[in-house]
Structure 1
């Protein structure tokens, strides 16, 4: 990317979008644009077309999406598939029409089959059934991956996609019902600490294994790929390290300073039993994460305490 290029971040005020903006500014990119959902409704085709006609961005990071944890995905599947398909369709097509030099689409590791061989390679896509609790969201993201491939094939665009592992960090969503596991646990342990509660109840058995990546590491990888990757195939972005949900909770408990007990509610769903990405291709390109889990969680908790988060 040229230093004077106009770079549009769709979702700039979200956790990932704001991290990408930080990463670009650290590299002296100054012509960065983006809007809140109130200023630019990406679900409305006419609004998106007008934005691209007026702004003519050179590069696009498409990281805007409706996201949520197990409860939200399982409760509002129509919202997840409709909103995300609309956003993707509108941004992809306007990027083609207005001759964007390169588009980066951020998917999700939940696109892979529920029982995919571990670690999960990129060629596992569409080889077996998905995890039912987030199927609607996953199908929308799969459509985005395929749109990159098919637009490149038919229109000779330069659209790339990447699949991140589970993310956390500054600017996360701490909503009690719609958040992902790390912000949900940070909030629960913090509130239990403040109320001096004897225990915190968690969904599931605690046995599933998950891989986590700090959001600033993800942003660094996104910029790296925008500069160095050009392939129709999607590419995984992971840390290469996994932890059980119970052990994760124990780490967060210690970071927060909560003294009570952790109780598992095994009547609630676990989700996918294991999800570790094979990030060999990205590693061989020369990229690797820098922030370990304990360090990242400590920074994230400080961000939560700052009050500048979504509750």
Structure 2
């Protein structure tokens, strides 16, 4: 992360030396953000651990903008210092809007679904990593390392079974997958159509099955989406894309399982390694998604292995993880 001397030099070169700086809420990553105010002008300063994140962020942002979607304009960048100055999209987070105006839930998630359906018409960069069956399993390596595991052999067999099941999904065309796509990474803008969705946090984009970002949005770890809206938007996506409903539902449930398992591992790691216990409160919701996805008869084998390997995040398990959090230790 850039030191203050580099930040001051960067801002001076960009013409923002005299700007007032205030912290913005960050995310689960090592990145941090500040809002800069210079008279009536505003911008966002992103500080990343390394320049590669800056390069990925700007590359995917440019690609999305060229495809006609809303991403913040880059005002200045210093890859070596890990610094990026961006257009400020404001504070109208989709999650905040839904909390204040829950009656807009159906319409907003319909717009999100329409964005994802449109995204599939734009072939993703061919050199992005492909999230295939083996990659899905590999991403789960961290789960038994950080989340309590009662049967490591069953956990290993579960990862193998996820790969096998994913490989049975009929042929599909990869789409650009934003990967961490949910209501706290969308800013609502005063723009028409799909451009109303201001996109954030896409530097880890890759190529994946079209169901991946849909399940990311509809099975949100941080907020509840009504089951009626989830069901309606899966059907909406299938109708818009003329997808094979059975194959798409299988992919949706399987990817939902894999995502939720990985999220449990990430949230446990954020607590016990990084000293961020606040993510533990989301675990019961994430586990409920796992249960919902495993209720599909097509995933019966996976359900048996999962329940053999991983206990539910009940209050005792969460309390035990919290005790392991470095910030909860007293000298």
TM-score, normalised to structure 2, is: 0.29
TM-score, normalised to structure 1, is: 0.31
